[in-house]
Amino acid sequence: MTNNPPVISVRDLVVGFGEATVLNRASIDVFEGEILGFVGGSGAGKSVLMRAIIGLLPKRHGTVEVFGSDLAALNGRQRRAIEQRWGVLFQQGALFSSLTALQNVQFPMREYLRLSPRLMDEIALAKLEMVGLRADVRGKYPAELSGGMIKRVALARALALDPDIVFLDEPTSGLDPIGAAEFDELIRTLQQTLGLSVFMVTHDLDSLHAVCDRIAVLSEGRVIATGPIEATLASEHPWLRSYFGGKRGRQVQPAARTTRH
């Protein structure tokens, strides 16, 4: 897998707010066709790194390359071309509350593609079906949907333009264990069928075991470890030991082993 070229390559990224430096020379690669799980304690700056990559937060130093081009060096048009090749699932879904589920999925298409309304309806319905929703959610507004459904609609919207990279910000947070497991499975299935590269911020240990090809660990503003989960588990780093070696971490490990062997 690591033979593939990196689709995202972050080098020495420094991001801070005022006096505080959240990321201090963080570097990370995401390779084509993999699911990278990005872990770290609460407030460690996982979401900050994701938001800095997609350009929502200004960086103080460092480079972010996506598909081999440095985002800072692009003009508006080139940047929009790249933005169309990624989809983002925000933590709370971030569906547009004034639009129905179907309109939300159609929104990116409406902005970038010239399609007939009928074709757009069909594509959007297909996307909703792809994320496991029934067609009757199409007319519902985000306020009428449950948390799990909102995440699925948001995922459908992130996939609306058939992106190559998907950013997921804590996709399973706020879901019950069954819903979370289903969502993990959905991500895995979609990633395999669509050949996506996935950058997943999470603290869900189950997700890490179930779907991630590699994990990267953020601590004290730097990426302290990357690699397959087994290798990372064996690491001696104190933070990692307490993270995976804690009560909740140990509960997951044996289960993961039995499913893997």
Partner 1 sequence: MQLLGALVLAVLGTIAHPRRLRFTSIVHHLEKVGWRAVPIIVLSTFMIGAILAQQGIFRFRTFGADMYVVDMVAVLVLREIGVLIVCVMMAGRSGSAYTAEIGSMKMREEIDALRTMGLDPVEVLVLPRVIALVLAVPMLTFLGSMAALYGAGLVCWLYGGMAPQIFIERLREAIWLPTFEVGMIKAPFMALTIGLVACTEGFEVDGSAASLGLKTTASVVKSIFLVIALDGLFALFFAGIGM
CB of 88 to partner 1, least distance (A): 5
CB of 169 to partner 1, least distance (A): 9
Closer to partner 1 at the Cβ: 80 or 241?
A: 80
H or E segment to which residue 62 belongs: strand 61-66
Is residue 79 near partner 1 by the rule CB under 8 A?
yes
Tokens read off for 231: 């290798």
**Sign of the torsion angle spanned by Cα atoms 192, 38, 47, 181:** positive
* Spatial contact of 25 and 14, defined as CB atoms under 8 Å apart: yes
Is residue 56 near partner 1 by the rule CB under 8 A?
yes
Which one of 67, 107, 141, 239 is in contact with partner 1 (CB under 8 A)? Answer: 107
Candidates 164, 55, 161; CA nearest to 112 is 161
Stretch of 16-24, 90-98, 218-226, 229-237 contacting partner 1, by CB under 8 A: 90-98
CA 113 remoteness from chain centre: 24
Interacting residues of 61 by C-beta distance below 8 A, sequence separation 6+: 12, 13, 14, 25
Is residue 41 near partner 1 by the rule CB under 8 A?
no
In single-letter form, the type of residue at position 176 comes to: D
Stretch of 78-86, 186-194, 195-203, 224-232 contacting partner 1, by CB under 8 A: 78-86
Which one of 38, 90, 199, 243 is in contact with partner 1 (CB under 8 A)? Answer: 90
The residues that touch partner 1, with contacts defined as CB under 8 A, are 51, 54-56, 79-80, 83-84, 86, 88, 90-97, 107-108, 111-112
